[in-house]
Amino acid sequence: MTENDAAARTLSIDIGGTGLKMLVLDPAGTALNERQRVETPRPATPGAIIEALRGLIAGQPEFDRVSVGFPGVVHDGVIWTAPNLDTSWRGVSLAKALREITGKPVRVANDADVQGYASIEGSGVEMVLTLGTGLGSALFVDGRLVPNLELGHHPFRKGRTYEDYVGKPAFEEVGKKKWRKRVDRVIAQVEPIWNYRLLHLGGGNAKHLHADELPMNVRLHSNLGGVLGGIALWKG
């Protein structure tokens, strides 16, 4: 069995600012086990996170390749930024570290990009925003990804970025009701600029939104997309 074999099983890992999650997917992208989760260690240094991943990996069913969603900018398996983890991630090859642990080929992408693959329909311009510890963003054109879009760090209001405005600390500070209003304001701002056909909302806090209160072209997704999208990193 090779990583490109039609029968290859994918270990899909979602590294978040709050939790580390993983499961194994069959070739059709169906989960073969329950998603496992541990709290993200703090400080969230490369050493601490890689050790926590090693522990979770040991309990997984067999797999042939590894996909990872990482909460920052990623180029060729190397981490460029990790705003909600630790500055010492810069320059770390996460792909290499996990290859050494698993002995399998590894692909790493931004977490919102991975979540997006699980959510999009594949036609026209589709935008993805993930509402979790940080604010993740992804852009797809006819199913093709524009990698590493970092809308969360764009200034929005009163010197605050979109992430400052609707990320987890803001959610905890202002409460659900005000936070929902903030999400509405973010949508009202991005819609006329990006003119997407669909906006997909995912991430751990998307469950606090009400689908019937959102514009017609907005879709809500479960946070499971963070791992289910992992299989797409091996297509094309």
- CA gap 71, 18 in Å, rounded: 11
- If binding means CB under 6 A, how many residues of this protein chain bind ligand BGC? 17
The single residue among 8, 63, 72, 209 that binds ligand BGC, judged by CB under 6 A, is 72
The single residue among 10, 67, 102, 110 that binds ligand BGC, judged by CB under 6 A, is 110
Does residue 84 bind ligand BGC (CB under 6 A)?
A: yes
CB 26 within 8 A of CB 32: yes
Which string of x and - marks every residue 147-186 that binds ligand BGC (by CB under 6 A)? ---x-xx---------x-----------------------
The single residue among 136, 202, 225, 229 that binds ligand BGC, judged by CB under 6 A, is 136
Question: Which of 198, 194, 130, 120 lies closest to 163, judged by CA?
Answer: 130
Does residue 86 bind ligand BGC (CB under 6 A)?
A: no
Beta pairing, strands 155-157 & 160-161: antiparallel
The residue type found at 109 is A
Does residue 204 bind ligand BGC (CB under 6 A)?
A: no
Does residue 14 bind ligand BGC (CB under 6 A)?
A: no
The single residue among 14, 86, 111, 164 that binds ligand BGC, judged by CB under 6 A, is 111
Closest chain position to ligand BGC (CB): 134
Shortest approach of ligand BGC to residue 93 CB, angstroms? Answer: 17
CB 61 within 8 A of CB 12: no
Going from the C-alpha of 83 to that of each of 7, 45, 50, 87, 96, the distances in angstroms are 36, 12, 17, 7, 21
Question: Which of 42, 17, 197, 224 lies closest to 115, judged by CA?
Answer: 224
Which string of x and - marks every residue 29-48 that binds ligand BGC (by CB under 6 A)? --------------------
- CA gap 207, 218 in Å, rounded: 14
Shortest approach of ligand BGC to residue 144 CB, angstroms? Answer: 18
Q: Which is nearer to ligand BGC, 134 or 225 (CB)?
A: 134
Question: Which of 114, 17, 24 lies closest to 65, judged by CA?
Answer: 24
- CA gap 50, 36 in Å, rounded: 15
Q: Residues in the site for ligand BGC, rule: CB under 6 A?
A: 71-73, 81, 83-84, 110-112, 130, 132, 134, 136, 150, 152-153, 163
